[in-house]
């Protein structure tokens, strides 16, 4: 397949792109493995950034970053998603 020169240049640019922004981790490390969150109605009344931080900390308490989840961790995470679906969709 032949690519036109502009398409080839665009593809080369996309493939060679290296972002310069520092991207914060999507999940933060938490020492405490037992975080209690408020209910979803309370969570969605908080500022978005605070709700995201709380949700991220809760996920990290279930499956810490740089670890491999076990089946019981996956079950806990699944339950977490079901329990906080409203807050996750509104602020996640």
pLDDT tens by residue, 55-68: 988 888 888 778 88
Gap between the Cα atoms of 13 and 30, Å rounded: 38
Of 68, 6, 11, 65, the C-alpha closest to 33 is 65
Q: What is the pTM of this model?
A: 0.61
> Which pLDDT value is given to residue 8?
79
Cα Rg of the chain (Å, integer): 19
Distances in Å between the Cα of 81 and the Cα atoms of 8, 10, 37, 78 are: 42, 39, 12, 5
Domain limits of the chain?
Answer: 38-92
Tens of pLDDT, residue by residue over 3-33, are 567 777 888 887 887 767 665 555 555 555 5
């Amino acid at each position: 397949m032949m690519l036109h020169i502009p398409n080839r240049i665009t593809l080369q640019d996309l493939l060679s792109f290296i972002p310069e922004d520092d991207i914060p981790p999507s999940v933060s490390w938490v020492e405490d493995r037992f975080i209690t969150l408020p209910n979803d109605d309370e969570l969605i009344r908080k500022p978005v950034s605070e709700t995201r931080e709380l949700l991220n900390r809760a996920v990290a308490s279930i499956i810490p970053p740089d670890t491999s989840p076990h089946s019981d961790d996956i079950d806990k995470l699944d339950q977490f998603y079901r329990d906080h679906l409203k807050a996750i969709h509104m602020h996640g």
